[in-house]
Amino acid sequence: MDTLIFYIAVVVLFGISIAKDRAKTKKALLKGLKALENIMPQFITVLILIAIMLTVLNAETISRFLGAGTGALGVAIASVLGAITLIPGFVAFPLAGELLRNGAGVMQIATFVSSLMMVGIITLPMEITYFGKRTAILRNVFALIFSVVAAAFVTWAVSL
């Protein structure tokens, strides 16, 4: 039902925009379509990667390594996977949702996503170049610690 309400709101607002300034609306629409065209190859790649991952990793395998019952070991695995993975947020969140639906634990997935966003093992050489070795390593260590703390908070908040 919410989706229908959003569609109706978009159509109404689009109509108002056309009535107010047809040229500006056309320009904005073309700009939006261009942005969609630019992001579409990445989005399709994401869908393919998620489909392949869920085909290879069944719910039992996901639960065994990242399930709620895996405790600290599952959190450690999730944090390492997140730290070494280099994927954008718009890929990470749908992937996290699918992993949760297929048996992964909330703490483990929250750790995976937060370490994915904050820790950059792949980008560490570039960080060292710009920030220096000590600063880059400290930033990543603190980010890894904070990602586990943030995941613990998310898990607590979800349990309320």
pLDDT in tens, 17-55: 999 999 999 999 999 999 888 888 877 876 787 777 767
Tell me if the pTM is above 0.85.
no
Mean pLDDT for 94-98 is: 85
Long-range pairs of 50-56 with CB within 8 A, sequence gap ≥ 24: 50/94, 50/95, 50/98, 53/95, 53/98, 54/98, 54/102
Name the token pair of 111.
């750790």
- What local confidence, expressed as pLDDT, does residue 67 receive? 87
Q: Where are the alpha helices (DSSP H) in 102-132?
A: 106-118, 124-131
> At residue 63, what is the residue type?
S
Please state, in angstroms and as integers, the Cα–Cα distance from residue 53 to each residue in 23, 88, 144, following that order: 45, 16, 24
22: exposed, middle or buried (Cβ count in 10 Å: 0-12, 13-18, 19+): exposed
State how far the Cα of 36 lies from the Cα of 39, in Å rounded to an integer: 5
Q: Which residue has the tokens 């405790």?
A: 71
